[in-house]
């Protein structure tokens, strides 16, 4: 009998600072109308704390949801690409904040797909018997790395985190991750590149924190649909199911048009799609995990639902997971852990980033 990795805890952490489309139109030449019609996005969140702080709160909530203590975690996998420190890694800071002293800690970076790749890694390690439990995280604080002067990218991204608690289940029930497909279009990796982040740039004397995004939007758009479609087809084939068996599709939320075209190509009804892109924009590694948490919280995912989660990101990495949800859709315990409060708005936090990069110019009255 194959041990299954049941998902028994889930939690999210969205920073309180809201940046809406009107705020963005005071920074770059754009409009609410353009952003909504081209992307479906209305708001995104901007963090006043480090990414590991968001990840910690999401993990504390996932643990409470599962009714587990911090000592019941064998492995923490932090999925994301905006770590507050490179060495030591972000998962070790989450371990420290949780007091999860029995956990091994690893960081995993496949950009926007990192949270879902983390789920695949933890699932495989539980099935192999290496570990019995894991906290997997998709978290990003992209705002300090954003080029807030470039309207092509500044409107698209936000900050956030989500986490899941996975535990070995010997009941023989088919629950948790049932099939997945993972891939990467490495030949096209340069069409989505954040120049300025990484040792390569430090060695060139690039000012710390200052970035330029190579972002070929239309090309990425096409590759995103191709990658997610391929992943979905492969996962469905591996599992030997009919598309009609899928109850909910929780895709990476990079653009509402991408989501709708993907559903159309997969011949899946839009009614099965879970969409929250209007609330948070694209949170990279946190996107699909936050969407999955919200699909459960909002009752879209029900006991025993079969969920398809396609994702796509820089690299160009792609993934698709087929997940069978367990019986329980409500948390065992509540969690009173939260972020430290802030009085700063999303726009004020962005202006702080611009000032740090020497780019903020007060508008001429």
| Options 32-40, 99-107, 131-139, 352-360: segment touching ligand UT7 (CB under 6 A) | 32-40
**How many residues line the site for ligand UT7 (CB under 6 A)?**
19
- 3-class DSSP string for 200-248: HHHHCCCCCCCCEEEECHHHHHHHHHHHHHHHHHHHHHHHCCCHHHCCE
Residue of closest CB approach to ligand UT7: 217
Judged by CB under 6 A, does residue 185 bind ligand UT7? no
| 112 tagged catalytic | yes
**By rule CB under 6 A, what string of x and - marks binding of each residue 94-123 to ligand UT7?**
------------------x-----------
Nearer to ligand UT7, 285 or 349 (CB): 285
Looking at residues 275 to 304 of the shown chain, list those that interact with ligand UT7 (rule: CB under 6 A).
282
Task: Choose the catalytic residue: 13, 81, 112, 232.
Answer: 112
User: What are the tokens at 306?
Assistant: 């079969």
Instruction: Give yes or no: 278 in active site.
Output: no
Catalytic status, residue 152: no
Strand partners, 135: 76, 165
- Indicate which residue of 59, 65, 252, 276 is catalytic: 252
The nearer residue to ligand UT7, 77 or 156, going by C-beta atoms, is 156
Ramachandran quadrant class, 179 (left: phi over 0; alpha: psi -120 to 50; beta: rest): beta
Q: How far is CA 294 from the centre of its chain?
A: 12
Query: Which is closer to ligand UT7, CB of 66 or CB of 286?
Result: 286
Q: Name which of residues 139 to 168 contact ligand UT7 (CB under 6 A).
A: 151-152, 155
- Rounded to a whole number of angstroms, the minimum distance from the CB of residue 192 to ligand UT7 is 6
DSSP 267: T
Nearer to ligand UT7 by C-beta: 78 or 312?
312
Residue with tokens 């019995």: 132
* CA–CA gap between residue 314 and residue 197 (Å, rounded): 13
Which one among 224, 250, 283, 295 touches ligand UT7, defined by CB under 6 A? Answer: 224
CA-nearest of 63, 88, 85, 84 to 74 is 63
Q: How far is the CB of 122 from ligand UT7 (least distance, A)?
A: 22
What are the respective helix, strand and coil percentages of the chain, to the nearest 5?
40, 25, 35
CA-closest candidate to residue 157, choices 35, 274, 63: 35
Pick between residue 57 and residue 108 the one whose CB is nearest to ligand UT7.
108
Q: Which is nearer to ligand UT7, 255 or 276 (CB)?
A: 255
Q: Please report how close the Cβ of residue 256 comes to ligand UT7 at its closest, in angstroms.
A: 9
**Cα(21)–Cα(167) distance, integer angstroms:** 40
What count of other Cβ atoms lies within 10 Å of the Cβ of residue 347?
18
Residue 5 has a CB neighbour count (10 Å cut-off) of: 25
Among 92, 114, 255, 276, binds ligand UT7 (CB under 6 A): 255
Structure tokens at 193: 């590149």
* Per CB under 6 A, 254 contacts ligand UT7: yes
Question: Could you list the residues that contact ligand UT7 (CB under 6 A)?
Answer: 30, 34, 38-39, 112, 151-152, 155, 217-218, 220-221, 224, 254-255, 258, 282, 312-313
Task: Provide the annotated active-site residues.
Answer: 112, 252, 282
């Amino acid at each position: 009998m194959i041990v299954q990795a049941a998902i028994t805890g889930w939690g999210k952490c969205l920073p309180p600072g809201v940046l809406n489309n009107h705020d963005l139109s005071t920074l770059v030449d754009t409009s609410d109308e353009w952003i909504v019609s081209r992307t479906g996005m209305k708001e995104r969140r901007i963090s006043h704390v480090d990414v590991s702080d968001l990840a910690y709160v999401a993990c504390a909530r996932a643990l409470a949801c599962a009714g587990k203590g911090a000592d019941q975690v064998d492995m923490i996998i932090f999925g994301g690409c905006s770590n507050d420190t490179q060495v030591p890694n972000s998962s070790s800071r989450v371990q420290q904040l949780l007091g999860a002293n029995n956990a091994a800690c690893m960081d995993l970076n496949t950009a926007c797909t990192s949270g879902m790749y983390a789920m695949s890694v933890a699932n495989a390690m539980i099935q192999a018997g290496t570990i019995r439990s894991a906290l997997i995280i998709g978290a990003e604080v992209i705002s300090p790395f954003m080029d807030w002067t470039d309207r092509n990218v500044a409107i698209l991204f936000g900050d956030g985190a989500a986490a899941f608690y996975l535990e070995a289940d010997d009941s023989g029930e088919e629950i948790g991750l049932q099939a997945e497909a993972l891939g990467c279009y490495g030949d096209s990796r340069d069409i989505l590149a954040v120049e300025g982040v990484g040792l390569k740039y430090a060695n060139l004397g690039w000012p710390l924190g200052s970035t330029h995004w190579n972002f070929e939007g239309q090309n990425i758009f096409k590759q995103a649909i191709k990658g997610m479609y391929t992943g979905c087809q492969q996962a469905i084939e591996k599992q030997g199911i009919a598309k009609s068996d899928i109850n909910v599709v929780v895709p990476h939320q990079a653009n509402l048009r991408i989501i709708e075209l993907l559903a159309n190509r997969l011949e899946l009804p839009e009614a099965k799609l879970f969409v929250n892109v209007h609330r948070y924009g694209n949170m990279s590694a946190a996107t699909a995990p936050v969407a999955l948490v919200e699909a459960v919280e909002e009752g879209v995912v029900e006991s025993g639902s079969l969920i398809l989660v396609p994702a796509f990101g820089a690299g160009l990495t792609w993934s698709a997971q087929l997940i069978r949800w367990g019986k329980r859709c409500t948390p065992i315990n509540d969690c009173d852990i939260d972020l430290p409060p802030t009085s700063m708005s999303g726009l004020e936090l962005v202006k702080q980033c611009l000032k740090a990069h020497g780019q903020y110019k007060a508008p001429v009255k």
